[in-house]
Structure 1
Amino acid sequence: MDKVILDEKKKILLEFINSKDYQPMKFKEIASVLQVPRDEKQDLREVLEALQTDGKIEADTKGRYKIADTNTRTGIFSGTQRGFGFVIIESETEDIFIPESATKGALHNDKVMVSIKNEGRGKRREGEIIRILERNSSTIVGTFEKSKNYGFVVADNQKFGKDIFIPKEHTKGAVNGHKVVVKITDYGSQDRNPEGKVIEILGHMNDPGVDIISVIMAYNLPVEFPEEVMNQVEAVQDEITEKDMAGRKDIRSLQTVTIDGEDAKDLDDAITLSKDGDIYHLGVHIADVSNYVTENSPLDKEAVKRGTSVYLVDRVIPMLPHKLSNGICSLNAGTDRLALSCFMDIDDKGTVIGHEIAETVLRVDRRMTYTSVKKILEDHDEAERNEYKELVPMFELMSELADILREKRRKRGSIDFDFPESKIKLDENGHPIEIKPYDRNKATKIIEDFMLIANETIAEDYFWQEIPFVYRSHDNPDAEKIQQLGIFINNFGYSIKISQDDIHPKELQKLLLKIDNTPEEALISRLTLRSMKRASYTSTSDGHFGLATKYYCHFTSPIRRYPDLQIHRIIKENLRGGLSEKRYNHYSKILPDIARQASITERRADDAERDVDKLKKVEYMSDHIGEIFEGVISGITNWGMYVELPNTVEGMVRVSEMQDDYYIYDEEHYAMIGEHTRKTYKLGEKVLVEVLAADKLLRTIDFAFVDEAPEEDQ
């Protein structure tokens, strides 16, 4: 049934069941009262099931439908290794705790209906699952363990709290330590493990590359492109023609550069910049990917499905085939390319006083790297400045304008999290040989600043034109999490102003400025980030809390992000004579689902990237067992303390392993205190740790505190 029709029928049926004269009825009775024709009864059943899945109605033991109990919710079950779990409800800030005895056999990420037992009693909500509405997945990736007459698989995702039983005839010859894909044949129950059969053996867990393939399979990341997609790509020309350039603004005479990492191959943004008096003329030029990826074509459908490119440690899983992303859509130096450009006139206060969006044809003069531009601007490297002498004035102008734009964002309260990401270097066998923080430099910040202003300018323009669009939204943080952050930072002598359960981003920005270059900077920055919500894609302009702006979108990376590609289509259609009523309605209808799908695939990519990083960090630390490192206590729980090393690796000191005393977690002061010695460990404290163990299967690193480093290390 069409989604619009289904939603309309759900609305009508819900009004009927919610009416004051309605008495709980069975399916046949509802069909009779509503005089549903025989050939439409299946539709009625579908609508009733959809309303149940939404948690709007429920069926009693006799199969009679009624409005769902107000204490009943629908959400996603998040499992744990220890059997209990939580139900996450999209529109609510607090999760519902589910004891192990009340999970009803639900597995991680299943869609469930939960009955809340203690709503509004001032303590954490607790509930029991009353119905599993939708199983998350029929396949699981894990490690095979063999017994005499059967096998079992331990899921890689530790939130999948139960091992999967594999009958002997369904092991496919797997041996201990094999990474396998299992098809679940029986989901089990509260007291019985799921059952399945091995459908694919990926290799032994210690074989090079198998760990990353396992993550790719576990997240169901599409790797190979379907044949019809590749056929469409084959038909795309390698270079643009005069016909392609017709009607476009020709900017090939402008001095134009790309600035990217050394290993980047998909160059989708180029910059032009000049200055006239006090006015900067900034051009942000983005590869016109939508010229080749047309709506509803095989390429487009596959791009929607993928949503984003995924950047794993040793490979990229692209949203678009390489012939496009590294070829005709890449703004390679010395070649004519099609672009969608945002030309901005910016005054010396950083205000965009005028702008133009246009379809263009450009030719990049030089392909620059962040390292090279950093050498020119920060290090004043003579050899580098000489190599690019004709471009140096433009780079200096870029630095000047970027500083102005950044200062303007700072004044309005934009939050800039500047803690380093991990850069993991592998050898030819995929084994990690170096992990270090990946630092942003002046060149990376310049490009960020220019992309931000283009994204804001485009979003504000299309908001006021009242044209259907995809925005990047970031909600205000939950009051409770901000209160907790306030309590925590008080331990370090800092404070934030919170008014009426709300906070302005400027308060968090001020906090980050205060902690700049302090020992606790990385810790407080991370906890501040964790107190905020995730940004997502929406079809309404809901504002961006972190950037302190009302209007924001993603316009600058259509090679690797589907929302950017989608809005390029809308912009071009609008530039070519405006949207007809039919096209306006078309976009209004599809964009909420496009935004939702893009948010889901973005999260999937983030989780997969984080899992691979975690795997490689564990593998790296397994080469350093017994070594001593200095770190910072980055988290405290009832069962232990997390310690983060300068190279971004995090491990745990387990309380159960600390033999010198019995330690108790003091939640109020974010500290662990010895019951007898009163020895205290606090968040943010510098400590020395020895690496005890690194478990690749569980993805855990165990540390132990040491009093002092050996003499040779001091």
Structure 2
Amino acid sequence: MKISKSLVIKLMRQNGGSASLRELMGMAGADRGQRLRVRQLVEAMADEGEILRVRGNRYALQSASTTLTGKLSTHRDGYGFVSADDGGGDIFIPARYLRETMHGDQVEVAVLPAPGEGKREGRIVRIVQRAHTKVVGRLREAGKAALVIPEDLRLSQEVSIPARFRGAARDGQVVVAEIDRYPVGGRPAEGRIVEVLGFPEDPEVEVRTIIAKYELPVEFSPESMKAARSVSQSVSEADVGARTDLRSRLTVTIDGETARDFDDAVAAERVGDRIRLWVSIADVSHYVRPGSALDRDAYERGTSVYFPDRAIPMLPEELSNGICSLNPLVDRLALTAELLFDASGSMVDSKFYPSVIRSAARLTYTTVRRLLVDQEPDIVESHRHLLPDLLVMQELALILMEKRRRRGSIDFDLPEPQLVLDLQGGTMSIVRAERNLAHRIIEEFMLAANESVASFLEKRNVPSLYRVHEPPDMIKLRDFREFISGFGYDFRFDGERVDPAALQLLLDQAAGKPEERLINEVLLRSMKQARYSAENLGHFGLAASCYTHFTSPIRRYPDLQVHRILKGIITGTLKKGEALEDLAGKLPDMAIHCSSRERTATEAEREIVDLKKVQFMRGRIGEQFDGFITGVTSYGLFVELIELFVEGMVHVSTMPHDFYRYEEQQHAMIGERSRRTYRLGDRVRVIVAGASLERRQIDFVLAGEDGEAVGDYQHMNQEREEYVRVPVKGKRPVAKGTKPGGGGAGATTKRGGKGRKPPTRRRR
């Protein structure tokens, strides 16, 4: 029988659309001499895209696959995943199918048929929309032309720069290249230099690089600035109008020491055996009208972005730090949630209305802790007029906290770093961010307000934006259960669903143990990401049937949109009919956009913190520190320094005088000859061996009893090129099938001050 392409396709159709080489050879009746021809022909057809390689060493017809669209996320190791729009989970894309794509592209993917159950695999068949028009990277000489090597390691394609488009850029500088031609047919992308950021050794250049890399808009449009400057910085009687007057109500703001924008203020009073709570949120919607220049800029940004030494606000300062900020002792317009709770913490009544308030005091978390927890006499004396109301707030917050825990809300107890900066923006120290009772008070009140607004709108069938957090993928959860079994833990799980209370009980059991942090982190990565949605899907992490974001309209666009909807309903300006139908049609795209902007902001904020840590540790190379082993992998130990709250890697190639074997079940490295064991939670002494700005990576080596390094590390970067491309952050022994760095629930609503965002884990 003649071996041809048409025969291969015919045989595959007869076999249900897919076949292995062995099956094709058998069906074709190929003799020994023809088998090589079958193999070569099938491989060539797969290389040309006429048929598809699928799992199990099989091949499939294009027609046997299902096509879906979604966003491509590529990994620095070459492979990728597509988050499909069908909600069926990620689709794995092998590296061979990614040659013309770039991280973030919207793509059409053919889902390949696979035997049995398991993760979906696919092949890119079409690029629907490009994610990047520009690339930020380092310029490298390459003969007559030059190459831009992307800063983002997920962008594996270099951009070729013809000499005529290079401008004044010099070798080694960080530049912004505009793409003129995308990679196609084995040819690299081609572009031109449009901006030179400078040499990477300059700390300011590194920050500008990250801003450019994530395409964060720094400047507001001239129209926005003109509108912002035209807004009066005081509240007039005409502004007050028919609003509820709360200016005589003792109301305070509680924020971080360096905060400059105050978008929430609280008040409380006891009413018999009940407590009434007022949560007043800056009425940004009064000043930012839909469709205005201010609104367009705010929507494009989606959120404020907070770096340790600066912020990129969603709104111009005239609004964010001015008339919208609930500054003390001045009149401000607000939207108030008035909530009544019984002794058990159940909400028995709620009201929502436009208001005018006057904050009596600008308190900090530290001051409230010193007042309520430490009870320092001088602080108590100077705040005596506020103390009764603050004690009522404390009582209510503790009741709400306990009620939320009882219903199953998950509270990840992961430490967060706080960078202490000098006047020039340099890092002086890195410490653990404090989370005290004052943080808890505001956190509980914001959660209660967000949940009450969501319930109010849902009960009235009003289209709105919800903050949703779907239950975890069951496969990931089974893998996580297998992972924690190595520590002797388990939780209630029937294989189909899990109660969040069971997971919180697990975290309680691990509290205070060496493995506590690891279990928290792996569980967090096993969770889905919280996101915005026009459909109420509940919030798994909070064990809430209905949740939204209402409390931060100065820095989050979804909150501003929820304000508009809520105010429209309670004032009667948003009525059923065409207006609601128009709103319902806009919300799905708005939810997708705002979720995407939030993820971008989070990635940029994390990278800036990593950069600041590396910059700080470059000045400590050669110094010794004590630390704890926070992770054990096949390639080494993760160690967190006790004094500086910095984490780095002791690579296995630098560990001394032995061959170390990774014991996954014991979470340990054990020397073959010496039986020396390094286990999760062990205390070790390390020397800072390196700090790479390019890789955002810190390297340690173990220190001996004499204080000298006990391993040879002088050339470790050159010897382990594969390792140095892996960043310090996000790598742990993870549950089988769990992607390192995968999204978790995030958590609450509260922010810190200027240049400080709430810990990512609390972004619910």
TM range (shorter): 0.7 to 0.9
Structure 1 residue 674 displacement after superposition:
5.0
Q: Are 1:420 and 1:440, in contact at CA under 8 Å, matched by a contact in 2?
A: no
Counterpart CA distance in 1 for 2:214 and 2:347 is 42
Paired residue secondary structure (1:324): helix
Q: Are 2:65 and 2:111, in contact at CA under 8 Å, matched by a contact in 1?
A: no
Q: Are 1:93 and 1:478, in contact at CA under 8 Å, matched by a contact in 2?
A: no
Match of 1:541 among 527, 536, 545: 536
Matched, 1:476 2:447: no
Q: Are 1:77 and 1:112, in contact at CA under 8 Å, matched by a contact in 2?
A: yes
Structure 1 residues 709 and 368: alpha-carbon distance in aligned structure 2, compared to 1, 3 A threshold = farther
Match of 2:627 among 612, 631, 642: 631
Paired residue secondary structure (1:599): helix
Counterpart CA distance in 2 for 1:709 and 1:573 is 71
Structure 1 residue 303 displacement after superposition:
1.0
Structure 1 residues 606 and 329: alpha-carbon distance in aligned structure 2, compared to 1, 3 A threshold = same
For 1:703, the equivalent position in structure 2 comes to: 700
Counterpart CA distance in 1 for 2:402 and 2:493 is 24
Letter in 2 for 1:436: V
Match of 1:651 among 633, 648, 652: 648
Structure 1 residues 339 and 67: alpha-carbon distance in aligned structure 2, compared to 1, 3 A threshold = farther
For 1:615, the equivalent position in structure 2 comes to: 611
Paired residue secondary structure (1:101): helix
Paired residue secondary structure (1:273): strand
User: 1:416-449: CA deviations, max 9, x gaps?
Assistant: 1232222112334433221111111111110101
Q: Are 1:101 and 1:190, in contact at CA under 8 Å, matched by a contact in 2?
A: no
Structure 1 residue 93 displacement after superposition:
6.1
Q: Are 1:287 and 1:339, in contact at CA under 8 Å, matched by a contact in 2?
A: yes
Report 1:10-159 matches (<5 A). 69-91=64-86, 95-117=90-112, 119-122=114-117, 125-147=120-142, 149-159=144-154
Counterpart CA distance in 2 for 1:426 and 1:145 is 33
For 1:233, the equivalent position in structure 2 comes to: 228
Which stretch has the larger CA shift, 76-85 or 540-549?
76-85
For 1:694, the equivalent position in structure 2 comes to: 691
Match of 1:590 among 582, 586, 591: 586
Match of 1:403 among 394, 398, 401: 398
Match of 1:386 among 360, 363, 381: 381
Paired residue secondary structure (1:410): helix
Q: Are 1:347 and 1:353, in contact at CA under 8 Å, matched by a contact in 2?
A: yes
Q: Are 1:146 and 1:152, in contact at CA under 8 Å, matched by a contact in 2?
A: yes
Counterpart CA distance in 2 for 1:566 and 1:560 is 12
User: 1:593-635: CA deviations, max 9, x gaps?
Assistant: 1211111111111011011111111111211222233334444
Q: Are 2:67 and 2:108, in contact at CA under 8 Å, matched by a contact in 1?
A: yes
Which stretch has the larger CA shift, 622-631 or 444-453?
622-631
Paired residue secondary structure (2:567): helix
Structure 1 residue 117 displacement after superposition:
4.5
Counterpart CA distance in 2 for 1:526 and 1:702 is 21
User: 1:517-566: CA deviations, max 9, x gaps?
Assistant: 33322222222211111111111211111111101111111111111111
For 1:554, the equivalent position in structure 2 comes to: 549
How many matched pairs?
650
For 1:38, the equivalent position in structure 2 comes to: none
Which stretch has the larger CA shift, 83-92 or 610-619?
83-92
Counterpart CA distance in 2 for 1:503 and 1:192 is 49
Structure 1 residues 454 and 266: alpha-carbon distance in aligned structure 2, compared to 1, 3 A threshold = same
Structure 1 residue 60 displacement after superposition:
9.4
User: 1:611-661: CA deviations, max 9, x gaps?
Assistant: 111111111121122223333444455444433334442322333444644
Matched, 1:642 2:638: yes
Q: Are 1:158 and 1:698, in contact at CA under 8 Å, matched by a contact in 2?
A: no
Q: Are 1:688 and 1:709, in contact at CA under 8 Å, matched by a contact in 2?
A: no
Counterpart CA distance in 2 for 1:688 and 1:413 is 39
Structure 1 residue 81 displacement after superposition:
3.3
Paired residue secondary structure (1:423): strand
Q: Are 1:82 and 1:161, in contact at CA under 8 Å, matched by a contact in 2?
A: no
Structure 1 residue 582 displacement after superposition:
1.8
Matched, 1:315 2:310: yes
Counterpart CA distance in 1 for 2:222 and 2:281 is 28
Structure 1 residue 295 displacement after superposition:
1.1
Counterpart CA distance in 2 for 1:95 and 1:487 is 21
Letter in 2 for 1:317: I
Q: Are 1:308 and 1:318, in contact at CA under 8 Å, matched by a contact in 2?
A: yes
Structure 1 residues 656 and 128: alpha-carbon distance in aligned structure 2, compared to 1, 3 A threshold = farther
For 1:464, the equivalent position in structure 2 comes to: 459
Counterpart CA distance in 1 for 2:546 and 2:592 is 19
TM-score with structure 2 setting the length: 0.80
For 2:207, the equivalent position in structure 1 comes to: 212
Structure 1 residue 669 displacement after superposition:
5.5
Report 1:152-301 matches (<5 A). 152-189=147-184, 191-301=186-296
Which stretch has the larger CA shift, 118-127 or 648-657?
118-127
Q: Are 1:209 and 1:430, in contact at CA under 8 Å, matched by a contact in 2?
A: no
Structure 1 residues 410 and 615: alpha-carbon distance in aligned structure 2, compared to 1, 3 A threshold = same
Structure 1 residues 690 and 106: alpha-carbon distance in aligned structure 2, compared to 1, 3 A threshold = same
User: 1:23-54: CA deviations, max 9, x gaps?
Assistant: xxxxxxxxxxxxxxxxxxxxxxxxxxxxxxxx
Paired residue secondary structure (1:589): helix
Which stretch has the larger CA shift, 472-481 or 194-203?
194-203
Q: Are 1:523 and 1:684, in contact at CA under 8 Å, matched by a contact in 2?
A: no
Counterpart CA distance in 1 for 2:635 and 2:556 is 40
Structure 1 residues 459 and 127: alpha-carbon distance in aligned structure 2, compared to 1, 3 A threshold = closer
TM-score with structure 1 setting the length: 0.86
For 1:566, the equivalent position in structure 2 comes to: 561
Which stretch has the larger CA shift, 451-460 or 126-135?
126-135
For 2:602, the equivalent position in structure 1 comes to: 606
Structure 1 residue 251 displacement after superposition:
1.1
Letter in 1 for 2:556: R
Structure 1 residue 143 displacement after superposition:
1.7
For 1:22, the equivalent position in structure 2 comes to: none
Q: Are 2:486 and 2:665, in contact at CA under 8 Å, matched by a contact in 1?
A: no
Counterpart CA distance in 2 for 1:579 and 1:665 is 64
Structure 1 residue 258 displacement after superposition:
0.8
Structure 1 residue 205 displacement after superposition:
0.9
Structure 1 residue 676 displacement after superposition:
5.8
Paired residue secondary structure (1:209): helix
Q: Are 1:359 and 1:572, in contact at CA under 8 Å, matched by a contact in 2?
A: yes
Structure 1 residue 83 displacement after superposition:
3.2
Structure 1 residues 82 and 404: alpha-carbon distance in aligned structure 2, compared to 1, 3 A threshold = closer
Letter in 2 for 1:579: K
Matched, 1:525 2:520: yes
Match of 1:377 among 346, 357, 372: 372
Structure 1 residue 400 displacement after superposition:
1.0
Paired residue secondary structure (2:691): strand
Structure 1, gaps ≥5 residues long: 1-58
Letter in 2 for 1:281: R
Paired residue secondary structure (1:345): strand
Structure 1 residues 276 and 438: alpha-carbon distance in aligned structure 2, compared to 1, 3 A threshold = same
For 1:26, the equivalent position in structure 2 comes to: none
Report 1:666-677 matches (<5 A). 666=663, 670-672=667-669
Counterpart CA distance in 2 for 1:666 and 1:123 is 27
Structure 1 residue 148 displacement after superposition:
5.2
